[in-house]
Amino acid sequence: MRFDGKACGYIRLMYQLLPEDALVLNQPVPVNLWDPKGVLLLRKGETVATQKQREQIMLRSPGVLAGEWQAVTYGYTAKLDRMVRNNESLSDIAKLSALTVDVKAQSKADVSSPQEAWAELHATLSSLLHQGAGASDFLSRLLRVQQEADHLWQLQPDTSMLVLVQYLFAPRLSYSTTHALLCAGLCQMVAASADLAADTRRRLSQAALTMNLGMTRAHDELARQGAEPTAVQRRMIREHPLSSAAALRELGVIDLAWLRLVEEHHERSDGTGYPAGRRVDSVEHRLLQLADSFVSCVSPRAGRGSLPSQDLARQLYLGFGHTPDRWGALFVKVIGFFPPGSYVRLANGETGVVVRRGQKANTPKVMSLISRMGTPLGEPVLRDTAQAACAVQASLPPGEVKVAINVAQLLARC
C-alpha cells in the first residue's frame, strides 16, 4: 500500500519513528508499521520471525502514526506500572515491549472515574518518588503520570482538587506524593488562565512533580511529625532543591529549564531564599512557589492545623514584599479562597465541604454535611454560598469535622 501526494505528506507529518528496541521477534505488532514514504512494512497483527527480517525492517526507518503510538506507549507504561506494583519477576518485566500491548488502551481520564484515575496516578507516582533511582523505567513512567494528570486537570479541575485536597487529610497516603500532584495541578490551572505557552505549562508540571524528589521520605515524615525539625532535617530541607535536581540528572533528565525550576523553587526575588540565595523572579518560578506555599499551608500537620483560607489568600496576594503581587492575585482569583475538598462553616450554622469553585473567590459551592445543631445530615445538601444565608463564615481544619466523606456520593450529587 502506498500513499501519494497529499496522503503521503499527511503520513510524513504524523509519522513517529519506532525505537530501536521496540520490535520484538515472534510478537504480533498492534499497529501498522510504515516507512517514511508511507509504504506499509508490517501490518497490524503480523510478526517478525527472524533476526534478518527484523534488521531489514529496521534499516527502512520504520514508524507508526503518532496518535496510534501515543496509545501504544500509554498501554506499555500502564502495564509496566501494574507489573512493578504486583512484584512480578524481573524476567517477565524485561520481556515487556511497547509493541506487545493493546493499542486500544486509552487515557485514565477517559476510562476511569476521577477517583479511580487519581488513585492509580497517586500509586504510580508514590512508587516512583520513593524508589527514585531504583525505579524501573523512571523517566518514561513519570512523564506518563504528568501527561495523564495534566489531562485530568484540564477535564475536571474542581473534581481533581476535591479528590487531592481530601488526600491531604488522609494520614495513610504519602503526603509528598499528594503535595506533588496538587502543586502540578494548581500550576496548570493558573498558567492556563494566564495563557502561558504549552511547553511552559508542561515544565511547571514536571518540576512540581519532582521538586521534592531528594527528600520524599523525609517529606512524609515531617508531615506526621509534631516536633520541630531536627538539625539533620533542617539541613536536608535546605539542600533538597539541589539533591532533587541531581537525582533527576542521574535519571536522565536533560531539560535545563526543568532542572533550573527544581533547583530554584525556594529562591526568592529579593535573594533571601535558599539554597544559594539567588535573585530569581521568572513567571514559572513564581507560580511554582505559590502552588508549593498554598499546598503546604492548607495541609494539616501533626504539630498544627491548616492555615485559615482567608489568611492564606491574603499572604498569596501580598507576596514576599507585603505589596500586591500580580501572580498571587491571579492565583487567588483562579483557585479561590476555599479550595474544593476543604471544610467550611456557613452563616446558617451548617458545616460542609467545598465541592466546586464559585463565580467569585469567596462564594464556592458547598455540600452541607452537619446541621446547625451539630448532627450529621441524612444526605449532603448542596448550598450556594453566594446567597447571604449560606455565606461562608470560616474555614475549618479537617480535625473538627467528624463525618466520613464519600467522594463518589458527593460528586454524584453535585
**DSSP string for 209-238:** HHTTGGGHHHHHHHHH--SPPPHHHHHHHH
C-alpha 60, offset from chain centre:
38
**pTM of the prediction?**
0.74
Q: In which residue ranges of the chain is CATH 1.10.3210.10 found?
A: 107-335
For 202-229, write each residue's pLDDT tens digit: 999 999 999 999 999 999 999 888 888 9
Q: What pLDDT is attached to residue 258?
A: 97
- Residue 117, helix vs strand vs coil: helix
For 271-312, write each residue's pLDDT tens digit: 999 999 999 989 999 999 999 988 988 887 655 555 566 666
Share of the chain above pLDDT 90, in %: 49
Report the CATH fold assignment for 107-335: Hypothetical protein af1432 (1.10.3210)
Q: What pLDDT is attached to residue 97?
A: 58
91 Cβ neighbours under 8 A, 6+ residues apart: none
Judged against a pLDDT cut of 90, whether residue 73 lies above it is answered with no
d(CA 131, CA 138): 9
CB-CB contact of 402 with 396 (8 Å): no
For 327-357, write each residue's pLDDT tens digit: 888 998 899 889 999 999 999 999 999 999 9
Judged against a pLDDT cut of 60, whether residue 176 lies above it is answered with yes
182 Cβ neighbours under 8 A, 6+ residues apart: 161, 164, 165, 167, 168, 291, 295
Query: How much is the average pLDDT of 188-195?
Result: 93
Amino acid symbol at 79: K
Q: What pLDDT is attached to residue 106?
A: 46
For 50-66, write each residue's pLDDT tens digit: 888 888 888 888 887 76
Confidence band, pLDDT 50/70/90 cuts, at residue 115: confident
